[in-house]
Structure 1
Amino acid sequence: MPVVTTAFASPAIIPGRKDLIFSAPARPQHDAFGRMEYVFRHTYEKLTNAHTQLHIAEPMADTYTDVVDGCCDVAIGFMHAAVTQHPAFGYFAGLPCSMGLPSARQTAWINSGDGQEIWDQLGFELGIKPLFAGNVATHAVALHSRRMICGATHFQNMRVQANGLVRDVVAGLGATPVINETEDEIDAVQSGTSASRPAVDGGKSQAHVISGGFLPHGSTLAVSVHRKTWDRLSRFEQQAMHMAARVAAASFTNFANSKDRAVVTALGVRTPSAPKMPLDVMVAANRIAEAVVADIASTDQISARINSSYLAARSRQQI
């Protein structure tokens, strides 16, 4: 399929057919992200009997912003990038540390509660329609570091790959949050972008895996659709996009689980279970996360409403 480089969706190339510009993380098809993009695109086109086709845009670092800025019609990926547009998107992306909901509860809050409704309201302010594509608990359960972490002070002056609200948490610990545009944990750790300096032993680089990262409950995958594009889709086409997003999320989860195992293997971890995050680190991180979320809740009226709904979901979890 040809690469489309126009700034926004072109008119239908074939009469009666809708042609949409689609943005996704620039990854090879054998990668979890690449597979997700492929499955979503082909599932949607199959469900609509090719009446609507998605043309891949030139790869960009921030697919969510591509939609907001009108550079494409549809994008797929994690929601953490949306936090820069409005901090309340963090509730839907996945809150850090103890503030987050387990994946099953997060899914129930959005699909069965009023989560999707207020997510739509938040997205409407920015001109997008967000579609829940699943909660992925992989890539979040461990911290891969080039330096042994024995306490909170070890984060001082470290560079830590972080997105969304986790950036505020690691900054509060004294580290410098960085965004790894390749989204490749193996490359990030081995190249030193996830820690301030590598540990060297006998000329061979080593890495450490600490279980219990700062997103223990995972991150939300979403399809973001430009509001004008969404409004000109038929109801059937909208439902097909919902279904394609969920099929792609299931595919991503399977690939991501395999990738997590590959990360551990590549880093040379031979023990079946990694050491847990030091207690003082988690205590400090939880305290910072609580302060960050409290600050977001006081941002504006819609943030307060989202926070109230989210806390109600957490209360039901604890019953």
Structure 2
Amino acid sequence: MDRRSFLKKAGLAAGATAGAATLAAPAIAQGKRELKMVTTWPKNFPGLGTGAQRVADRITNASDGRLTVKLFAAGELVPAFESFDAVSSGTADMYHAAEYYWQGKHKAFNFFTAVPMGLTANELDAWINVGGGQELWDELSAQFNIKPFMAGNTGLQMGGWFNKEINSIEDLKGLKMRMPGLGGEVLRRLGATAVALPGGEIFPALQSGAIDATEWVGPWNDLAFGFYKIAKFYYNPGFHEPGAGLSCGLNKDVWESFSPADQALVADACKAENNYMYSEFNWNNGSALETLVNKHGVQLKRFPDAVFDAIAGVSEEVVAEVAGEDDLSKRIYDSYIKARKDVGGWGDISEGAYLENRKRVLG
């Protein structure tokens, strides 16, 4: 495509969305485009915020500055939970976020971050990349004028921070806990009050007593947020996010205005971050946990089997109910559960069995 054709095509794409928002179209000058990325993360927050910045930088650098992505952290351009609407309408061009934040738009978005008792990071990647998950995600997001990609994963998350010990299911009743997504609905059915808060609002809510407990991510991020200063009981494993996928969603009109080469460039930048972030969390969580326990006196606890079993039972009910929302929800649910059975079954006799024996023999 020559420069004149490119500018003509880009101008048509920009004009199509100009009525929705004057800020919608990326700035185009002399063949260059500036894209606005909004996020749900605090500015420069380790792992999540820095991961979003890496996606922006990869696109900018790989295009030699022809596509320049400017990142706006939560609250800088729009509030954290308004990122989806900003990109859908064209006020921003792309977001970096967790899809379960959009469950108010469609409950099936949960499957593309994490659902209780769902897929691990490796299993989620297998489903998205090979098992048909991406095609279903594309179909869902297209209803909102968005093209989605996986662009990060935290791995298995911790069960959360509590001001009291959890010895029985009764200890969850009346508890006010920060937990988004379907995990929050599980807590509600067990008698707790689930609250959805963006990352930057969690610490003050815990400090003020507005919430009694919170989950966030894992040791690396939780240490950075300083939850150990308020709560000392740190529980594992997390039932709600066994492999939390993070996403980069692009305004679909903007995406379709890209050349095939630029589409491939953006897709590769997201895939690179998906791999890097998972590695980063795995590398940093162990040393962060050691610091929390040995330096800050955090008490690492494991949920009693009876508590976890009760949570798991309710989780299966909550997740299955999403299939009843509409035909697309059922197709997503059926595909996801098949992946959990097929990929998870292989994992049990491969990595699962190996890790069990490694721990048994080597400690």
Choose which of 273, 293, 298 in structure 2 pairs with 1:248. 273
Over residues 31-52 of structure 1, what are the superposed CA-to-partner deviations in whole Å (9 max), with x where a residue is unaligned? 2222112211111111111111
- How many residues are aligned here? 303
Rate the CA distance shift 1:102–1:206 in 2: closer, same or farther, 3 A: closer
Choose which of 34, 37, 41 in structure 1 pairs with 2:52. 37
Query: Contact 1:9–1:20 at 8 Å: present in 2 too?
Result: no
Q: Which amino acid aligns with 1:278?
A: P
Distance 1:44 1:213 in 2: 33
Residue 317 of structure 2 corresponds to residue 291 of structure 1 = yes
The residue aligned with 1:124 is 142
Residue 111 of structure 2 corresponds to residue 91 of structure 1 = yes
The residue aligned with 2:327 is 301
2:40 partner SS: coil
Choose which of 47, 57, 66 in structure 1 pairs with 2:62. 47
Distance 2:66 2:234 in 1: 47
The residue aligned with 2:184 is 167
TM-score, with structure 1 as normaliser: 0.85
- Greater displacement, 115-124 / 31-40: 31-40
The residue aligned with 2:349 is none
Choose which of 140, 163, 173 in structure 2 pairs with 1:156. 173
Query: Contact 1:107–1:135 at 8 Å: present in 2 too?
Result: no
Choose which of 302, 310, 318 in structure 1 pairs with 2:336. 310
Over residues 195-252 of structure 1, what are the superposed CA-to-partner deviations in whole Å (9 max), with x where a residue is unaligned? 179xxxxxx9551011112325121111011111111111111111122223333443
Choose which of 235, 242, 252 in structure 2 pairs with 1:227. 252
TM-score, with structure 2 as normaliser: 0.75
Over residues 8-29 of structure 1, what are the superposed CA-to-partner deviations in whole Å (9 max), with x where a residue is unaligned? 3345342211222210234232
The residue aligned with 1:3 is none
Query: Contact 1:160–1:177 at 8 Å: present in 2 too?
Result: yes
Distance 1:170 1:260 in 2: 28
The residue aligned with 1:281 is 307
- Greater displacement, 257-266 / 39-48: 257-266
2:174 partner SS: coil
Query: Contact 1:35–1:251 at 8 Å: present in 2 too?
Result: no
Q: Which amino acid aligns with 1:55?
A: K
Query: Contact 2:40–2:198 at 8 Å: present in 1 too?
Result: no
Q: What percent identity do the matched residue pairs reach?
A: 25
Query: In the TM superposition, what are the counterparts of 1:57-136 in structure 2 within 5 Å?
Result: 57=72, 58-62=77-81, 63-96=83-116, 98=117, 100-136=118-154
The residue aligned with 2:212 is 195
Rate the CA distance shift 1:281–1:208 in 2: closer, same or farther, 3 A: same
What are structure 2's unaligned runs of at least 5 residues? 1-20, 215-228, 347-363
Greater share of helix:
2
Provide the alpha-carbon RMSD of the alignment.
2.7
Over residues 85-131 of structure 1, what are the superposed CA-to-partner deviations in whole Å (9 max), with x where a residue is unaligned? 111111111111x2x01221111011011110111001111111111
From the CA coordinates, give the structure whose radius of gyration is larger: 2
